[in-house]
Amino acid sequence: MPDSGAGAPASTAALDRGGLLYAVGAYVLWGFLPVYFISLAPSGPFEVVAARIVFSLVFCAILITATRSWRRLAALFSDRRILFTMGLAGLLIYINWQTYVIATLSGHVVEAALGYFINPIVTVFLGVLVLRERLNVTQWVAVGISLAAVVVLAVGYGQPPWIALVLAFSFGTYGLIKKRVGPRVDAVSGLTLETAWLTPLALVQLAVVGATTGLTFGTVSGWHTALLIGSGIITAVPLLLFAAASRRLPLIALGFIQYFAPVIQFIVGVFILHEPMPPERWIGFALVWLALIVLSADLVRGARARRRSGR
């Protein structure tokens, strides 16, 4: 018995290290997505998103075949509630993807990064509006600071930061719906259902692009075609890594690691793509970061209090 007891901590530690690697891998890949999408030029944002949907569905079908999971997916098709819930989730993720790619290809990577910085605040806000959750004083302070940041950024941009707000609210609502579905839908099956719902829209989108500006798929180079096909893989792989991490790491750890993606996007936008950052934008971002620090400190304090009460 002493041997088994001594081995348990090592096994748990190894599991935690694995979860950490999965989470970092997912968010680093998401962070460098702007570079990937920019490399797809001269493809426009509507062709890119349509290709992303179609090839994500193809990649998921290959994964389901490899893991022999068709029966589990078929069971989800027989559940109307899950089926239509995933259709709504698909619509929200389509809005998120299309907005993000338009932002990336039109020189608004920094504003897109802002959307994912304020996403945790939006999640808290949706918890109050939809789930009727109650916030403590510290959480209200974080929400108040983030609202002040939006006002400052609106002044700086000359209008509300619509790209950031659409990204934050679409992804926040998407997360809320996915939370409602819970563990009944795994990552691959969920993405399969979402992209299956969106594929007819993607095909119409490709037809419209082909009839107007013209499709670039297969006309530029073999490398460009491979990158468009790979957009399905680059969509699915981070999601699978995240799903693996979420099973191994506590939620608070994932909450901190999620900042990897917008930090990388911000660095790409400011220091690689040289997007403008006048003083008022720096002030707005600083307020957002302050709100995140306040919210994170409250989460840490709450987690410690729960551990103490559990003991």
Poorest-pLDDT segment among 112-116, 179-183, 235-239: 179-183
- Top pLDDT among 156 and 152 is at 152
Poorest-pLDDT segment among 11-15, 52-56, 154-158, 263-267: 11-15
d(CA 240, CA 289) in angstroms, rounded, equals 28
- Does 11 have pLDDT greater than 50? no
- Does 8 have pLDDT greater than 70? no
pLDDT for 156 equals 80
pLDDT tens per residue, range 132-154: 777 788 888 888 898 898 888 88
Task: Give the chain's largest Cα–Cα span.
Answer: 72
pLDDT for 197 equals 95
CA angle 15, 258, 180 (to 5 degrees): 85
HSE toward the beta carbon, residue 89, CA cutoff 13 A: 25
Which of 239, 183, 174, 195 has the alpha carbon at shortest distance from 61? 195
Q: What is the mean pLDDT of the chain?
A: 86
Poorest-pLDDT segment among 39-48, 89-98, 244-253, 287-296: 244-253
pLDDT for 52 equals 95
Query: Which residue ranges make up each domain of the chain?
Result: 20-305
pLDDT for 181 equals 79
pLDDT for 212 equals 95
Average pLDDT over residues 143-172: 88
- Does 14 have pLDDT greater than 60? no
- Does 71 have pLDDT greater than 50? yes
Q: How confident is the model at residue 221 (pLDDT cuts 50, 70, 90)?
A: very high
> Is the C-alpha dihedral spanning 99, 104, 107, 109 positive or negative?
positive
